[in-house]
Amino acid sequence: MQKHIFLIGPGAIGKTTLAKMLAKKLDVLDVHVDEEFIKRIGHIRKYIKKYSYDEYYASNSKLFYKLISENKTRRCVFAVTPGLLIRGPEKIRKKNIEQINKGLSIL
């Protein structure tokens, strides 16, 4: 299994743009976790308002692992918000950090 590349940073800083450029240069797939959440689950702010931030965090973490699993045979460039690493329940947060440490991280 090839290591994924994780681009981590706050919203509107250019993670998606950089992920697309880097993925094209490396001829790999780019994956934006927030965009996938919106496509597969729903609008993030509405989800948090309806359920809670903790529920969003748990759902987003599950989606993160699903995306990694779906792409386990190929290298990808992931655009990831730092919330997966610095907020949320400690057990899940540590697991997320461990997963990202398996790849190449760019902050």
pLDDT at position 1 over 60: no
Q: Which two tokens stand for residue 55?
A: 């529920």
CA 72, CA 65: separation in Å to the nearest integer? Answer: 10
Model pTM? 0.86
pLDDT at position 23 over 90: yes
**Confidence band, pLDDT 50/70/90 cuts, at residue 107:** low
CA 84, CA 26: separation in Å to the nearest integer? Answer: 25
CA 14, CA 74: separation in Å to the nearest integer? Answer: 23
pLDDT in tens, 68-100: 999 888 889 999 888 888 877 888 888 888 888
pLDDT at 42: 96
pLDDT in tens, 35-71: 999 999 999 999 999 999 889 999 999 999 999 999 8
